[in-house]
Structure 1
Amino acid sequence: MANKYCFEAVDRSLCDIMKGIKEDNGLKPFSRITTILGGDFRQILPVVRKGDRHDMIQACIKNSYLWKSCEVHLLRKNMRLQSNELESISKDAMQNFVDWILDVGDGKQCSDIGESWISIEQKLMLPKSHDGV
């Protein structure tokens, strides 16, 4: 995920450029240009050099003045599970993994107090190979 300042810099640049075309273009986010941002807030926060967790959260687009203008759309269908090449056993195993990883993202696999360890079911783990790796 990119730092909110990257998006804010693009916004200000577009506003400056588009004001030359029409004065009120600079009053709307991204100068009324439809902008699509993609990302997953369950993955990684923006990296802040020598920053702590608070700094990383503050650098997130959700803490920008632009966020109130964003319209969030969620993907609801896992396209990997739609593959005709998967056997039914593989689909079931993948569905179990998908459900588990969503539970981790929703915080259902850990305690309510700060950071915690997450238990990974044995059936979700890859078996050890013969060469010890």
Structure 2
Amino acid sequence: MHVAHAADAPAAEEIAFDDFLKVDIRIGTIVEAEEFPQARKPSYRLKIDFGPAIGVKKSSAQIATNYALGELPGRQVAAVVNFPPRQIGPVMSEVLTLGFADAAGEVVLFAPDVHVPNGSRLF
């Protein structure tokens, strides 16, 4: 499935509200960020703390263009936590970190504008 990133892309097909509720989107705090030189696009490997119920999960994120490694730890991000793990090169990505495309098509992280508890679910 190809996901359109352009701001002028049409809306996706309509889904039922119950389908939306199946996607578990949570807030977590990045606790570790590392270079990921094996990735095809500039990426980092992240460890994100989603609180006691979900714990710390690994993710690969194509965010190296807009973010320096040192600014990521302590930053809150949103992620889908109930997709099956996905192998990305040598890394098993356990959650899908969410972002939006900027004007150049590079990823900008999606996060709350005020601190919320790790593990808070989008509703």
Q: Is TM-score (shorter-chain normalized) higher than 0.5?
A: no
Instruction: Return the index of the structure with the highest Cα Rg.
Output: 1
Higher strand share: 2
Give TM-score scaled by structure 1 length.
Answer: 0.20
Question: Normalising to structure 2: TM-score of the pair?
Answer: 0.21
